[in-house]
Amino acid sequence: MSNTAPLLQVKNLRVEFPTRRGTLVALDDVSFDIAPGEVLGVVGESGAGKSMTGAAIIGLLEPPGRIARGEILFAGKRIDNLRYEQMRRLRGKEIGAIFQDPLTTLNPLYTVGHQLVETITTHLPLNPAEARKRAIEWLEHVGIPAAAQRIDSYPHEFSGGMRQRVVIALALCAEPKLIVADEPTTALDVSIQAQVIALLKTLAREKGTAMMLVTHDMGVIAETADRVAVMYAGRIAEIGPVREVVKHANHPYSAGLMASIPPLDRRVERLAQIDGAMPRLSAIPQGCAYNPRCPQVFGKCRELRPDLLDAVTTRAACWLYDTETARG
Amino acid sequence: MFAFIINRILQAIPVMLAVALISFAMFAYVGDPVAIMLGQDFTEAQRDALVHDLGLDQPFWVQFATFTGHAIRGEFGLSYRLSRPVAELIGERAPATLELAFCAAVLALAVGVPMGVYTGLYRNSWLSRFFLTFSLVGVSLPTFLIGILLILVFAVWLGWLPSFGRGDTVQLGWWSTGFLTWSGIKALILPSITLGLFQLTLIMRLVRAEMLEVLRTDYIKFARARGLPNRAVHFGHALKNTLVPVITIVGLQLGAIIAFAIVTETVFQWPGMGLLFIQSVGVADIPVMSAYLLLIALVFVSINLIVDLLYYAVDPRLRIGRGKGGH
Ligand SMILES: Nc1ncnc2c1ncn2[C@@H]1O[C@H](COP(=O)(O)OP(=O)(O)O)[C@@H](O)[C@H]1O
Ligand code: SF4
Ligand SMILES: [Mg+2]
C-alpha cells in the first residue's frame, strides 16, 4: 500500500480548546495517512483524543475547539481550512461518519426512509422516487429484512443492532471514499457486535471505502485493520502494520495495552488495564506523557517529549528508539 | 386513537367535577344570595319562598347535583347584578374575549417561535442579545403597566390607536366580530400586544432553550455529518424536536391567555368575559363568577386534550401499535 497516493493525510495536527483557565491542547502533533481502501484502526484509553481526531477530519469540532496548527488533506487537497458550506458538501459525500450510539444517532421523529432519502438527494442527482429505491437497496445491503416495508418505520421500531445497520446505510449511501467510524459497536449488545463489524468490513471492501476505525476491541482491530495507531494523551504513541503493533508492539504503552489480549479464539475483549491513569489535559507531565506509568522510563523521558521515531517495524514516540540515546 | 380520546375525556371528568364543586360551594356559601336578591324590605314568608324556590332547603348533595345538571345545560341562573340569564351574558361577552385571545396567541406564536429559533441558532449575535434583553422586559413588567404604557404612547401621545373598547363590531348571528371593520381591527392591536407580550417572551425563551438543547444531540451531529444543508438541520431536524415541549407550554399558555385576559380587559375596558367577571366580583355576583370559573376550567381541560392529540401527531414514539414493532 505504501506506493498509493494517500487518500487522507493528517499532518502535525494540533487541536486547542481555549478555556478561562488557559488553553487545553486536546491533540498535538498528530500525523498519519490513510490510503484508498485502507482500514486504519485507532486504539487508546478513553480521553486519548480518538473522537477528537475524527471530529477534526469531518470538520465538526465543537466550538470553541479549533485546529491551531497542522493540515488535513483529502485526496491531495486541504480540507481543514474550508468554509462551512464547502466542507458540508464533502461530508456524507466524500467522508462519511458513524457514531457510537445508534439509539441517539437517528432522529426519532423521522422514518429511516425519510432520513435516507434526504441524505441521498442531498448528494446525488436523483429524484425522490429514485432516491427511495436506492434507500431500499441500501437497507437490503446492510441486512434489514423486508426492507421495502421497514423503510417507513421509525427508528424506535428497530432494535439497537438494526439501528446501527441503518446508521451504516446512512453513512455509506452517498458512497464516500472514507468513513470515520467512532466506536461503532461499543454501545451494542456483545452478541451482535461481531455481525455489525463484519458488515462494515464487507461493505468497505466491496466499495473500496477507506476507514478510520476507532474501537476498544483488539479482536476487531486484529481482524479488520490494515494498520493501527495507538493514541495516548492527545498524541500518537505508536503507528504501524496491524500484525506488528498487536504482536510485537515497540512502544511500552502499546505493549502494555496488548499484553493481556486473550488468544484470538476468545475475541471481543476489552482493553487491559494498565496501572495508573492517563493524565488530564491540564496536567500532562513534562517529557514523555507516559513517563509516570512507564516501566522502562529513564532520565531523558522526564525532560523531553519524543516524536514518532523509526522503530524498524513500526514508528513509536519513545526515546528507546532514539539512535543517539541508544548510542550514548 | 379513538380509545385514547375517550380515555382522556374520562380523565377530565373528575377535574371538571372538582371545579364544579368549588364553583357550587362559592355559590352556596359565599355571600347570602337570598339577602342579595331580596334587597332591604322583605317578609319572612317571602324569604322562605325564595329559599324554597332556589332549592336552598334541599340537602347539600341534591343541591350540588341540581347545580351540576344545570351547569351541563349551560344554565347558571340570573345574574344578581343585571337580572339576566348568566349564559346569555357570557354568550354576549365571549366573542370579544376569544377574538382578543386569538390575536394575542397568534402574535405570541408568530413572533415568539421565530425569535426563539433565531436566538438559539445565533447565540452570540447582536440581535440575539437585543431579543433576550427585550424578553426580560416582557417577562418582568406587569401586564397592566405594559397596557398603560402602550395607551400612553399610542393612544394619548401619538393618537394612532384607541385606548379603550372594541371599536365598531359586526354581528354574525350571535357572534359579534371586530375583525370586519377598520376601527375594530385598530382597537384589537394594543390589547393583543398587552395580552400576548408575556407569552411571546416566554415562548421565545422556551424555544431558544429547547433549540440549544437539541442542537447538542447526537442526531443533529449526525445530520451534519451526513452533509445535510443547514436549513434542513435547523428547521427539519432541530425545530421539529423542540415542538413537543413547546406544544405543552403553548397549550397551557393559551389557557392562561384567556384566563389572564381579565387584567388586559380591565385596562382597556374591553367588553369581554374577564371584564364581566371583574364587575361581578365587585358586587359578589356569584352566578356569573361560578359560571366563569367553570368555563375557564373547561377551556384548560379542552386545551389539554388538544395538546395530547398534537403530541400524538408530532411524536411517532407515542403512536403505539403502529407497524410491526421492533426487532
Ligand atoms: N468540549 C471540550 N472542551 C475541552 N476539552 C474537551 C472537550 N471535548 C473533549 N475534550 C477533551 O479532549 C480529550 C480527547 O477527548 P476524546 O477525543 O473524546 O477522547 P476519546 O475519543 O479518545 O475517548 C479528552 O481529554 C477530553 O476531556
Ligand atoms: S519515552 Fe521513556 S517514558 Fe516514554 S514510553 Fe519511552 S521509555 Fe517510556
Ligand atoms: Mg471517543
Taking residues B160-177, report their average pLDDT: 84
Per-residue buried b or exposed e for B241-273, using 16+ beta carbons within 10 Å of the residue's own CB? bbbbebbbbbbebbbbbbbbbbbbbbbbebbbb
Residue B225 lies in a domain: yes
A150 CB near ligand 1 (under 6 Å): no
A141 CB near ligand 1 (under 6 Å): no
Instruction: Name the pairing type of β-strands A178-182 and B170-172.
Output: unpaired
- A positions 4-23 inside 8 Å of B (CB): none
* Whether B178 and B49 share a structural domain: no
Residue B325's pLDDT is what? 37
Q: A169-216: per-residue pLDDT in tens? A: 999 999 999 999 999 988 888 888 888 899 999 999 999 999 999 998
Smallest Cα–Cα separation from B190: which of B269, B283, B287, B75?
Answer: B269
* Whether B159 and B38 share a structural domain: no
Residue B171's pLDDT is what? 84
Residue B148 lies in a domain: yes
Residue A268's pLDDT is what? 45
* Whether B246 and B183 share a structural domain: yes
Res A83 pLDDT > 80:
yes
Burial of A7 (0-12, 13-18, 19+ CB in 10 A): buried
Q: B222-274: per-residue pLDDT in tens? A: 999 999 999 999 999 999 888 878 888 888 888 888 888 889 998 889 898 98
* Whether B31 and B106 share a structural domain: no
Residue B212's pLDDT is what? 92
Residue B326's pLDDT is what? 37
Taking residues A14-19, report their average pLDDT: 94
A24 CB near ligand 1 (under 6 Å): yes
B227: domain CATH number is: 1.10.3720.10
* Whether B244 and B124 share a structural domain: yes
CA distance A147 to A212: 28
* Whether B257 and B184 share a structural domain: yes
Residue B296 lies in a domain: no
Burial of B3 (0-12, 13-18, 19+ CB in 10 A): exposed
* Whether B107 and B254 share a structural domain: yes
* Whether B161 and B207 share a structural domain: yes
Residue B307 lies in a domain: no
Residue B323's pLDDT is what? 40
Of the residues B72, B98, B114, the one at which a domain ends: B72
| The one-letter amino acid at A134 | R
| Contact: A122, B232; criterion CB under 8 Å | yes
Residue B318 lies in a domain: no
Q: B32-47: per-residue pLDDT in tens? A: 667 766 777 778 888 8
* Whether B244 and B101 share a structural domain: yes
Taking residues B20-31, report their average pLDDT: 77
* Whether B51 and B152 share a structural domain: no
Residue B302 lies in a domain: no
Q: A247-303: per-residue pLDDT in tens? A: 899 999 999 888 756 555 544 445 456 777 888 888 889 999 999 999 999 999 999
ipTM rounded to 2 decimals: 0.90
| Contact: B326, A157; criterion CB under 8 Å | yes
pTM, two decimals, is: 0.82
Q: What is the mean pLDDT of chain B?
A: 85
- Site to substitute for ligand 2 among A250, A286, A291, most atoms within 8 A of C-beta: A291
Residue B6 lies in a domain: no
* Whether B143 and B19 share a structural domain: no
For chain B, the domain total comes to 2
Burial of B26 (0-12, 13-18, 19+ CB in 10 A): middle
Res B62 pLDDT > 90:
no
Chain A residue closest in CA terms to B216: A62
Is residue A317 within 8 Å of residue A230, measured between CB atoms? no
Which residues constitute the domain of residue B20? 14-72
A52 CB near ligand 1 (under 6 Å): yes
Res A219 pLDDT > 60:
yes
Residue B156 lies in a domain: yes
* Whether B151 and B221 share a structural domain: yes
pLDDT band at A1; cut points 50, 70, 90:
very low
In three-state secondary structure terms, A75 is coil
Q: B85-103: per-residue pLDDT in tens? A: 888 888 888 899 999 999 9
Q: A30-66: per-residue pLDDT in tens? A: 999 999 999 999 999 999 999 999 999 999 999 889 9
Neighbours of ion ligand 3 (CB under 5 A): A 51
Number of residues that make up chain A: 328
